[in-house]
Amino acid sequence: MPSTCDYTSTPNHTIDYGLEFTPGVARYSNEIDFDEASREWNRNKKRVGQMYLYICGEPTASGRPCQRRPKKGGCYCAQHT
């Protein structure tokens, strides 16, 4: 499915990336700032049970990432496109 989004991961890859950032893994690496990487990675995603959903992620007036779902085939919600 073609997408204009910069984040090209499929839903399956999304789950794989989630596993890379489990606390048990991060604890054994000093070479990568996993906290920072995880935070950035989570910026436009939202954990729902055992999986992640993409969210808009644009900063809102409150400073928190927008939690709306992106428009179909896009990166951002209707308001932030």
Q: Least separation, in Å, of the C-beta of 68 and Zn ion?
A: 5
Note the residues at the interface with Zn ion (CB under 5 A). Answer: 56, 58, 66, 68, 77, 80
Q: Least separation, in Å, of the C-beta of 4 and Zn ion?
A: 15
Q: Which is nearer to Zn ion, 27 or 64 (CB)?
A: 64
Question: Residue 34 is inside which H or E element, if any?
Answer: helix 34-42
Q: Least separation, in Å, of the C-beta of 59 and Zn ion?
A: 9
Q: Which is nearer to Zn ion, 26 or 58 (CB)?
A: 58
CB-based burial label for 70 (10 Å; 0-12, 13-18, 19+): buried
Q: Give me the amino acid identity at 65.
A: P
Beta partners for 13? none
